[in-house]
Amino acid sequence: MYKIKVFISSVLNAKCFTSNFVTMRNSTSNPIVTVAQGQLKGSVRNHLDGSSYYSFKGIPYAQPPVGKLRFKAPLPPKPWTGVYDAIRHGPVCTQYDMVTKELIEGDDNCLFLNVYTKSLAASDKLPVMVFIHGGAYMSGSGNSQMYGPDFLLQHNIVLVTINYRLELFGFLNLEIPEVPGNAGLKDQVAAFKWVKTNIDKFGGDPNNVTIFGESAGSASVSCHLISPMSKGLFNKAIMQSGTCIDDWAMSGEAKRRAFIAGRAIGKDTNSTQELLEFLQSVPTSKLAGLTFLSRINDEKERGLPIYFTPTIEKKFNNVEPFLTEHPLDALAAGNINKVPIIIGYNSSESILMISDFLKKVDTKNKYPEYLVPKEIAYRLPNEKVKEFGERIKRFYVGNKDFCTEVSNAQVDMLSDTYFTYSINRFSYLYSKLNQPIYKYVLNYDSDLNMLKSLLGLADLDGMCHADELFYLFSNNTTKDIYKEQKRVQQLVFTLTKLWTNFAKVSDPTPDQSLGVKWKPFTTFNKEYLKIEEPLSMGQDANRERMEFWNKLFCEAGLPYIAAGKSNL
């Protein structure tokens, strides 16, 4: 855990500077670009291979959501005079890291994005990739300490990374017009609008934009597929290890949770307006980490501690909503933004959470009903939930109890509960909408599997949640590994080539240069790409485990997939 804390601290606590105004002439080392709001001064950076690219950091894409704007939908950025310094990252959003349990000091004024490109000529029309970071809707930023552009830019695309408001700041829902919820997702929409308006000044094509994300960032991407607010702002989407139908991805009882959070920091009131004024007035640092103080029902034992997340909004006059129907209903009805997608997961996602599970193993052995995901548990009687829990335990570990000796089986169970089944279900439902969908299971194994290594769990089978990020993005932690290992360089090249091919032409393998043709997913064969060494196609990933969950969801009266058919 100490290594994890040091790593996260180096990523999120790297010193940030607020952008300021400068006056200077354009040069090869400090290019100046004119966007809709004014002039930006960037810098020229060197790739790991010695070539160069343009970097513009800390660009404000919305007005600072401070004071009475806290929790509200973002407002368009204001123009400026002079030249805006875009050499350093802006402040990160204040956050509480759920892994290290530490407060990361940030700022309410954190709505910044970063642009990396090899060209500043609008005529080049390079494909644009906009990345949404993960972190349980609770932590993270788009900063290059974690999300460096070197690996992706080698394929001649424009990369944009963004900050968005987190936890209470981004996902408070008071069910009133001023705070209807989903401010963090509306931040992302504001960033997309900025890209649409300005990206041609960085050599990018505003009509060829791919949004992609990991974990909560991936769930966000799937929300944009459904939201009418996002329509027309992107052309393709990549979802890595998360969807809006994951058990942790949508929040219920949002208003009740807000009042519980208020009481936790000293405001006991039944007045929505009084609560809002209080939450807008307290120091930023007091609002981070309220997830753990606002649990409802049995949330201390069931599910992941991720509660300030996207919500279904009430409709109000003169308020544009982000999401007004449940994602499952939207998928079933086809009420979505239909674009080509890549979707998938890592082979052993829940290595990331196995240590926390083992800390509660006595409770899980005694009360297996807590293994049942919320989507099922909250619609069935207690006796049925208990029966389901016993069936889940028996399916994965047989007659044994949970313990370290069956860690791989427990990883499979947690992965299926929180990631793989919902991703397979989303893939199936989306494939019925006549859009290209490319599904994958990623199983790389090298020294770039950083989280698995830092957790001290290298002996467990498979690839950990978030480990693919180190193959997509460069950072100082992995720089030497990449430079010294030719095999690692090839793995990085292959994954980034697949992603950028898709961004360019909506097909991750338009030719045979990678030695395989990635066939689209169909409801009958459920095709997917095994991203490992070597690349190969497969069908019906994790079939036995998925059929087990299909049966549970069927018995619970919920949408499921089975044998090429759905109950929808």
**pLDDT of amino acid 29:** 76
> Of 215, 220, 251, 347, which residue is the catalytic one?
215
- Within a domain: residue 156? yes
CATH of the domain at 293: 3.40.50.1820
What are the distances in angstroms from CA 140 to CA 10, 20, 105, 416?
12, 23, 12, 24
Structural Rg of the chain based on CA atoms: 23
- DSSP-assigned states of every residue in 51-111: -EEEEEEEEE-S----GGGTTSPPPPPPP-SSEEE-SS--PPPPEEETTTTEEE---S---
Instruction: Compute CA 83 distance to the chain's CA centroid, rounded to the nearest angstrom.
Output: 33
365 within domain boundaries = no
Query: What is the structure's pLDDT at 16?
Result: 41
Strand 527-531 to 536-539 pairing:
antiparallel
Judge whether 532 lies within some domain.
no
Beta bridge partners of 60: 112
In angstroms, the Cα distances linking 83 to 42, 57, 79, 80 are 10, 14, 11, 8
SS3 180: coil
The distance in angstroms from the start CA to the end CA of the chain is 44
Residue indicated by tokens 């290290």: 100
- The tokens of 152 are what? 């992706």
- Give the separation between CA 461 and CA 449, rounded to whole angstroms: 12
Q: Are 339 and 234 in contact (CB under 8 A)?
A: yes
In-domain check, residue 469: yes
Q: What is the pLDDT of residue 561?
A: 62
What one-character DSSP code corresponds to residue 401? P
465 part of the active site = yes
Domain containing 44 equals 1-10+31-347+419-504
215 is catalytic: yes
Q: Is residue 382 part of a domain?
A: no
CA 150/CA 215 separation, integer angstroms: 22
Residue type, 352: L
CA distance 255 to 181: 10
Amino acid identity for residue 185 in this structure: L
pLDDT of residue 539: 97
pTM of the model: 0.95
CA-CA distances (angstroms) from residue 430 to 52, 131, 419, 425, 524?
A: 40, 21, 16, 9, 13
Dihedral sign computed on CA atoms, order 230, 231, 235, 236: positive
Per residue of the chain (568 residues), give pLDDT as tens.
Answer: 545 555 555 555 544 433 343 333 344 579 999 999 999 999 999 988 788 999 999 999 999 999 999 999 999 999 999 999 999 999 999 999 877 888 998 999 999 999 999 999 999 999 999 999 999 999 999 999 999 999 999 999 999 999 999 999 999 999 999 999 999 999 999 999 999 999 999 999 999 999 999 999 999 999 999 999 999 999 999 999 999 999 999 988 999 999 999 999 999 999 999 999 999 999 999 999 999 999 988 999 999 999 999 999 999 999 999 999 999 999 989 999 999 999 999 999 999 999 999 999 999 999 999 999 999 999 999 999 999 999 999 999 999 999 999 999 999 999 999 999 999 999 999 998 989 999 999 999 999 999 999 999 999 999 999 999 999 999 999 999 999 999 999 999 999 999 999 999 999 999 989 999 999 999 999 999 999 999 999 999 999 999 999 999 999 998 776 444 443 3
Q: Is residue 108 part of a domain?
A: yes
Q: How far apart are CA 19 and CA 58, in angstroms?
A: 6
| Strand bridging mode 112-117 / 204-214 | unpaired
Check if 349 is active-site: yes
- pLDDT for residue 559: 76
Question: By three-state DSSP, how is residue 358 classified?
Answer: helix
Give the C-alpha separation, 442 to 229, whole Å.
31
The one-letter amino acid code at 419 reads F
Q: Is 426 helix (H, G, I), strand (E, B) or coil?
A: helix
How crowded is residue 543: how many other Cβ atoms within 10 Å of its Cβ? Answer: 12
Q: Could you tell me if 365 and 401 are in contact, meaning their C-beta atoms sit under 8 angstroms apart?
A: yes
Residue 28 is predicted with a pLDDT of 57
255 domain-assigned: yes
Q: If phi over 0 gives left and psi between -120 and 50 gives alpha, with beta otherwise, what is residue 489? A: alpha
* Amino acid type, 97: D
Quick check: is 500 in a domain?
Answer: yes
102, 313, 349, 369: the catalytic one is 349
Which residues on neighbouring strands pair with residue 44, listed in sequence order?
54
Sign of the torsion angle spanned by Cα atoms 136, 357, 250, 444: positive
What's the CA gap between 506 and 437, in Å, rounded?
10
d(CA 539, CA 543): 9
CB burial of residue 49 (10 Å; 0-12, 13-18, 19+): exposed
Around Cβ 283, how many Cβ atoms within 10 Å?
9
State the pLDDT at residue 395: 98
CA-closest candidate to residue 166, choices 145, 148, 142 = 142
Q: Dihedral sign, CA of 487, 491, 497, 500? A: negative
Into how many domains does the chain fold?
A: 1
Residue 137 DSSP class:
T
Active-site residue, from 220, 241, 465, 474: 465
The closest of 450, 457, 443, 448 to 529, measured between CA atoms, is 443
Cα dihedral value 458, 463, 466, 467, nearest 10: 70
